[in-house]
Amino acid sequence: MIPAAYPTREEIARLTARMLLEIGAVNFNTEEPYILASGLPSPSYIDCRKLISFPRIRSTLMDFLTVTVMRNAGFEAFDNIAGGETAGIPFAALVAERMALPMTYVRKKPKGYGRNARIEGAMSEGQRVLLVEDLTTDGGSKLSFVDAIRETGASCGHTAVIFYYDIFPETEKTLGDHGVALHYLCTWWDVLAEARAQGAFDEVTLSGVEAFLKDPRAWQAANKR
């Protein structure tokens, strides 16, 4: 069912940050940084996969994502909702249900047997596809999914995520140069502001995280092990 309420972008960002903090999806640790998939350290880590276990929050955020996409891209802008393997799959299904559209998913690589497919479900030439994922950092991983969608003859000019890092200046340019617009609910800056407002972490930790967010490459270079 398509949501009837349309909160402001700012209120969506604040509430999304609050929900992520409430379920423990936000992790800050300046003493023992997390190691990202890139191998680089970070004092912050977010786990959007936890959302699938919290029905009330999950439902509210999927309403937010649906109205954000429709408000930004159009109410009749899509014919198919695709999830990226694996984290994007449940969220794509929930958005597709709200928009009453077919749902598909995109593998990271061909499965290696049978049809050797990357697209699972029914996607056809000419369809306008929205790629749904849990989050984006620098935008690079989205391009492979977009290319796989386009190889079917469908178009993909939009991707929607719950969380956008918003600390790497090249992200939106990387996506834009590939013809993809990014839609999101909140960023690290929203989470940091809400964490401060709630007193969710001590000020030393929050200041350390803020230093990272302001210059992540320099912070990573100084803390690389």
Distance CA 23, CA 108 (A): 28
64-95 pLDDT, tens digit per residue, is 999 999 999 999 999 999 999 999 999 999 99
| φ, ψ of residue 2 in degrees (nearest 5) | -70, 130
| pLDDT of 112 higher than 70 | no
Going by C-alpha positions, the residue among 53, 143, 58, 144 that lies closest to residue 97 is 58
Cα-Cα-Cα-Cα dihedral of 131, 132, 138, 140, to 10°? -40
Strand 103-106 versus strand 80-84 pairing type: parallel
Distance CA 110, CA 158 (A): 23
pLDDT on residue 103:
98
13-45 pLDDT, tens digit per residue, is 999 999 999 999 999 999 999 988 777 889 999
Distance CA 28, CA 203 (A): 11
pLDDT on residue 115:
63
pTM of the model: 0.93
Across the range 174-202, mean pLDDT stands at: 96
Domains and CATH numbers, the chain: 9-218 (3.40.50.2020)
pLDDT on residue 121:
95
120-174 pLDDT, tens digit per residue, is 999 999 999 999 999 998 888 899 999 999 999 999 999 999 999 999 888 999 9
E strands in the chain:
26-28, 34-35, 41-42, 44-46, 80-84, 103-106, 119-120, 128-136, 155-164, 181-187
